[in-house]
């Protein structure tokens, strides 16, 4: 399986982990030193801190995304794409479209893990 196919194969388990709020499953797709760059907030560094941050994230009701482009150079790859998300905030649902750039690191065994997760909501 080539690198692009391996990285695209992370989409389904990432989405399922988010919908299930299974942060251990989500973080199993990430390096231990993963960095999240959420919109309008400070960076969150390291799996332990990311898990704590995720516990405060609104409940995700619907989520989909896909890569428009994946560029690879050695043991690093970056994927650019877009998607949509519906979250529950204060008993109300809010939907948004998003764009993202994710960085992946190839592990010694050959598989890829998220190492930097960056996303922004598009204006309505």
Query: How many residues are recorded in the chain?
Result: 124
CB 97 within 8 A of CB 66: no
pTM attached to this predicted model: 0.94
- Looking at residue 41, what DSSP letter applies? S
What residues contact 12, with CB distance under 8 A and at least 6 apart?
A: none
Q: Tell me the fold of 3-121.
A: Nuclear Transport Factor 2; Chain: A, (3.10.450)
Domain layout of the chain by residue ranges: 3-121
Q: Is 111 helix (H, G, I), strand (E, B) or coil?
A: coil
Q: Is residue 113 within 8 Å of residue 104, measured between CB atoms?
A: yes
- Does position 90 have pLDDT exceeding 80, yes or no? yes
pLDDT (0 to 100) of residue 124: 58
Summarised one tens digit per residue, pLDDT across range 52-71 is 999 999 999 999 999 999 99
Calculate the average pLDDT of the chain.
96
pLDDT digits (tens, 9 = 90+) for 11-61: 999 999 999 999 999 999 999 999 999 999 999 999 999 999 999 999 999
């Amino acid at each position: 399986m080539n690198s692009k196919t391996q990285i695209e194969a992370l989409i389904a388990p990432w989405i399922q982990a988010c919908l299930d709020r299974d942060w251990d499953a989500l973080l199993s797709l990430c390096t231990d030193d993963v960095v999240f760059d959420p919109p309008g907030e400070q960076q969150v560094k390291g799996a332990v801190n990311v898990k704590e941050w995720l516990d405060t994230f609104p409940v995700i009701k619907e989520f989909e995304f896909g890569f428009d482009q994946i560029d690879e150079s050695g043991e690093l790859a970056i994927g650019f794409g877009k998607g949509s998300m519906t979250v529950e905030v204060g008993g109300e649902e809010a939907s948004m479209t998003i764009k993202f750039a994710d960085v992946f690191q190839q592990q010694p065994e050959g598989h890829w893990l998220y190492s930097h997760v960056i996303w922004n909501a598009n204006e309505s």
